Chains A and B, each alone.
Chain A
Amino acid sequence: MELPVRVIPCLDVAEGRVVKGVNFLGLQDAGDPVELSRKYYEQGADELTFLDVNATVDNRSTTYDLVTRTAEQVFIPLTVGGGVRSADDVARLLGAGADKVGLNSAAIARPDLIDEIADRFGAQVLVLSLDVKRSGGRFIVTTHGGREDTPIGALDWVIESIERGAGELLVNSIDADGTKAGFDLDLISAIREVSSVPVIASGGAGSVDDFAPAVRAGADAVLAASVFHHGELTIGDVKRAMADNGIRVRS
Chain B
Amino acid sequence: MTTTSSEASVRPVSTSKPAGTPTRRPGGRPRRRRSSWLTEQRVIGTAAVIVALVVWELVALARVKPALILPGPIDVLRAFRDLFSTSAIWTDLWVSAEELLIGLVIATLIGLPVGLLIGWYKRVAYALNPFVNFLYATPRIALTPLLIIWLGIGSSSKIAIVFLMALFPILINTAQGMQSLDQGSVRVARCFGASDLQLFRTVALPGTVPFVASGLRLAVGQALIGVFVAELSGATHGVGLMMSTAGQQFQTSKVFAGLFIFAFAGVTLTAVLRRVEQHFAAWRLGS
Chains A and B are bound partners: no
Interface residues of A (CB under 8 A from B): none
Interface residues of B (CB under 8 A from A): none
